[in-house]
């Protein structure tokens, strides 16, 4: 029997306590949380006590953890502006890296990450958890039968608190409302809608038109994002996200193709997670296969994402979300911001095209 993967956590805040921890509990045969790093003592204590991490392996500085703890993999769940620095430090320490999205706040940082990962020859992946929801996993098995896609759309709307700002007493709200810390609607929440609809379209985005703006909230980052994307296969998608619009009929993506359509509800219960349309049947709710308890109670898809990722790392196989996928999602976001400023469509080049 193989020894469990020795995992270090960089960041032990809300998403780890509420979401990641549930996945780790279901993977005790595969993963052992060996060390923790967080600048907030309460976070260290909560996660440390939850997973019986020895006190001496709870660090205020992640660099100390990388220097002294015996680790195979680290996860990074910190504000966006810290991702690039922490991924590069972990790669230089020779450990595999699982980073929460986005990989960085801009493509310059992303290029530095890819260089460090290649130089140190370590596995690296970014959490694209919506691809691993029950509805999306089944939807992906339907794509070939539906044929060539021509149109897709996704939406994620919601209202932030009236006092949402960089001075908010809740740290998770405060950094998301701060440009300096990598906040903003498009890179925080609309990020999921972008990669979800791209997955269903089965083609990279080539051109982006957009309006990414601050419409309502008193913050220095965007609270609304509207994208119109043209894919390499000729298909068109729209993405709509906002922090200043009630979330009625929100949290879904859909794809329309030559032989039918799919609609995935990310934030609904499993019973209403996926619908398919064909001319013969109309809209039909699809049954999903049985999932284990962690997956049935995990609407975000994190449980399956972590299971497949850790299994791949243990087997020395390719991780299910490649660095290139995360880079492309960030390139779409950067193009959308540029399209807003320049009032024109922005072409997205692959890293190899940029270098040529």
Looking at residue 69, its pLDDT comes to: 97
Looking at residue 271, its pLDDT comes to: 65
Structure tokens given for 166 = 């960089």
Query: Domain coordinates of the chain in residue numbers?
Result: 5-126, 133-347
CATH superfamily entry for domain 5-126? NAD(P)-binding Rossmann-like Domain (3.40.50.720)
The 10s digit of each residue's pLDDT in 277-295 is 999 999 999 988 766 555 5
Confidence category of residue 270, pLDDT binned at 50, 70, 90: low
Do 349 and 111 touch, CB atoms closer than 8 A? no
Higher local confidence (pLDDT), 96 or 349:
96
Global pTM?
0.95
Q: What does the mean pLDDT of the chain come to?
A: 93
Say how far apart CA 347 and CA 32 lie, in whole Å.
44
Say whether pLDDT at 178 is over 80. yes
The 10s digit of each residue's pLDDT in 57-66 is 999 999 999 9
CATH superfamily entry for domain 133-347? Dihydrodipicolinate Reductase; domain 2 (3.30.360.10)
The 10s digit of each residue's pLDDT in 96-126 is 999 999 999 999 999 999 999 999 999 999 9
The 10s digit of each residue's pLDDT in 223-263 is 999 999 999 999 999 999 999 999 888 889 999 999 999 99
Q: Give the range among 20-29, 122-131, 182-191, 311-320 with minimum mean pLDDT.
A: 20-29
């Amino acid at each position: 029997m193989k020894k469990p993967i020795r995992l270090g956590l960089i960041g032990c805040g809300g998403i780890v306590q509420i979401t990641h921890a549930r996945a780790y509990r279901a993977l005790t045969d595969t993963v052992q949380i060996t060390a923790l790093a967080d600048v907030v003592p309460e976070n260290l204590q909560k996660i440390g006590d939850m997973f019986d991490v020895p006190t001496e392996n709870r660090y205020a500085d992640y660099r100390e953890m990388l220097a002294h703890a015996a680790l195979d993999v680290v996860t990074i769940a910190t504000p966006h502006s810290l991702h690039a620095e922490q991924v590069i430090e972990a790669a230089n320490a020779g450990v595999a890296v699982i980073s929460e999205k986005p990989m960085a706040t801009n493509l310059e940082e992303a290029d530095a990450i890819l260089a460090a990962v290649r130089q140190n020859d370590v596995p690296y992946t970014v959490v694209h958890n919506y691809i691993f929801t029950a509805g999306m996993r089944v939807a992906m098995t339907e794509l070939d039968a539906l044929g060539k896609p021509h149109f897709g759309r996704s939406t994620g709307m919601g209202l932030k608190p009236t006092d949402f700002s960089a001075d908010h007493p809740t740290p998770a709200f405060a950094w998301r409302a701060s440009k300096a810390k990598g906040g903003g609607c498009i890179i925080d929440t609309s990020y999921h809608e972008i990669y979800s609809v791209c997955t269903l379209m089965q083609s990279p985005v080539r051109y982006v038109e957009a309006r990414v703006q601050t419409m309502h909230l008193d913050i220095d980052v965007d609270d609304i994002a509207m994208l119109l994307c043209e894919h390499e296969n000729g298909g068109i998608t729209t993405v709509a996200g906002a922090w200043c619009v009630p979330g009625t009929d929100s949290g879904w993506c859909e794809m329309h193709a030559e032989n039918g359509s799919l609609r995935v509800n990310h934030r609904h219960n499993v019973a209403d997670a996926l619908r398919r349309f064909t001319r013969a049947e109309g809209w039909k709710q699809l049954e999903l296969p049985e999932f284990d308890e962690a997956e049935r109670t995990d609407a975000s898809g994190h449980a399956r994402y972590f299971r497949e990722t850790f299994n791949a790392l243990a087997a020395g196989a390719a991780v299910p979300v490649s660095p290139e996928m995360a880079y492309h999602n960030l390139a779409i976001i950067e193009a959308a911001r540029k399209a807003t400023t320049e009032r024109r469509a922005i072409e997205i080049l692959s890293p190899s095209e940029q270098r040529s």
